[in-house]
Amino acid sequence: MAFPQELSRSQVCGMMREELCQDQDFLRSDTHIFIILGASGDLAKKKIYPTIWWLFRDGLLPDDTYVVGYARSQLTVEDIRRQSQPYFKVEPDEQAKLQEFFSRNSYVSGTYDSSTSFQQLNTHLAGLHNGEKANRLFYLALPPSVYEDVTLNIRECCMGCGGWNRIIVEKPFGKDLESSNKLSNHIASLFREDQIYRIDHYLGKEMVQNLMVLRFGNRIFGPVWNRDNVACVVLTFKEPFGTEGRGGYFNEFGIIRDVMQNHLLQMLCLVAMEKPASTHSDDVRDEKVKVLKCISQLQLDSVVLGQYVGNPDGVGEAQKSYLDDPTVPPGSSTPTFATAVLYVDNERWDGVPFVLRCGKALNERKAEVRLQFRDVPGDIFQRQCKRNELVIRVQPNEAVYTKMMTKKPGMFFDPEESELDLTYGNRYKDVKLPDAYERLILDVFCGNQMHFVRSDELREAWRIFTPLLHKIESERIQPIPYCNRGPPEADELMKRVGFQYEGTYRWVNPHKL
């Protein structure tokens, strides 16, 4: 749905609600219950409760929706409100609406491995308005170590009998191919694939979702989106901060599992896939799986690993090294930076390097997709022309821009680099972009699985990365110390596979000029 710039937030929400009513038969009188398992945790208080509040505030949830928290802690709804409200973004005139939201909240305390506790949860759910016949949505905001117990108890004790039942599973989906298959097989033994929503929040981001529209909704990109014209594709994820006390989790998983194997690989699929037959969930995910099947297992000689050290010129956490984090085991060799080169061995992309690079404690916060095109043949400008690039900036400051050559204004006939720029902060000044979790949780209510990871897609992703991860860990491969931009060896790898970095041009956000 396209919204004119001059619409107010309430008008936009009203239009979205009307569309949902027409297309999904969605906002009817059925009772919906949203169950947050792990309601006492950081993810729940920082993301899930605020997201459900925003959807409720904007009138995008079904009218008869209840929210039930479940965790081991002895809490009340007031405790949950107090710990999560700092993340709610509540305007002064929304206090009555907020009170109405929390009047539809409740909380049940119980353990994750006890069927008795889940029976008590089910009794509570059944006691809500139309609870026996309600649609039930279970969000596992939990560590993967308890997934098996929790999903088994949900299946045996808490499934509704009159409506649909859906389950949202947070990443990480295993640590390697074997553990991922084990978890997938366990969940598949309890739920149908159309009931399972494996959430990767990057698939809910505005510019990631925009990739399909840019590619398949514009005639100008189709003819050049191939190996004949594209020299290199670079997918980047950079954070300016370190582990910030999450060293225990990060040390177990590392940057490849945390970012590359999921976020960056998902974006690669959207860049590389063929046009699906429709926007139906399975048609889109079928094409993504075909891309993954064309990628060989990643080899160590196509990877550069790094670990950040103290940077006196950095800010906050970036001033310390990874090993300075007290939650990181002494002498850890876990990489906090990685650059990897993958190839999609099919007719469209044969020979084109896809460079995935990600890291913590770097010089900026940025996530983007960059297609660098081949040199202009028959150059008549004495090598003054740089390569064209199409850049989709995911965060921050969402934008799409094309780096191109134009004549420098004035008397002289000299080319210079400029851009065609669609910066969202300029074009859509008064439009609030939804949070990724808002889009994805609403998709689950609607039953739309397009932006969720299917089991065969997950299996192919782990197939690509598992041998490399096992080699890194079994041989204790030492990462290269770095600060600021990352190891120079990563730049050398990119240059070796054909990426040309000129360093003469930098995009400036026009919204801040």
* CA angle in degrees (0–180, nearest 5) for 278-279-280: 90
Q: Which residue has the tokens 């600021």?
A: 484
Burial degree of 496 (CB within 10 A; 0-12, 13-18, 19+): exposed
Active-site residue list: 263
**Tokens describing residue 210:** 């925009």
- What are the distances in angstroms from CA 358 to CA 304, 392, 503? 11, 16, 20
In angstroms, rounded to a whole number, what is the distance separating the alpha carbons of residues 270 and 256?
A: 19
In the chain, the amino acid numbered 374 is R
Among candidates 257, 260, 263, 139, which has minimal Cα distance to 205? 263
- Alpha helix stretches (DSSP H) within 171-226: 177-188, 206-216
Instruction: Find out whether 345 and 294 touch, Cβ atoms under 8 Å.
Output: yes
Q: How far is CA 392 from the centre of its chain?
A: 15
In angstroms, rounded to a whole number, what is the distance separating the alpha carbons of residues 392 and 402?
A: 9
How far separated are the first and last CA of the chain, in Å rounded?
30
Instruction: Find out whether 428 and 400 touch, Cβ atoms under 8 Å.
Output: no
Q: Are strands 135-140 and 105-109 parallel, antiparallel or unpaired?
A: unpaired
Instruction: Find out whether 447 and 270 touch, Cβ atoms under 8 Å.
Output: no
* CB within 8 Å of 367: residues ≥ 6 apart: 236, 237, 238, 263, 393, 394, 395
Q: Which residue has the tokens 């297992």?
A: 297
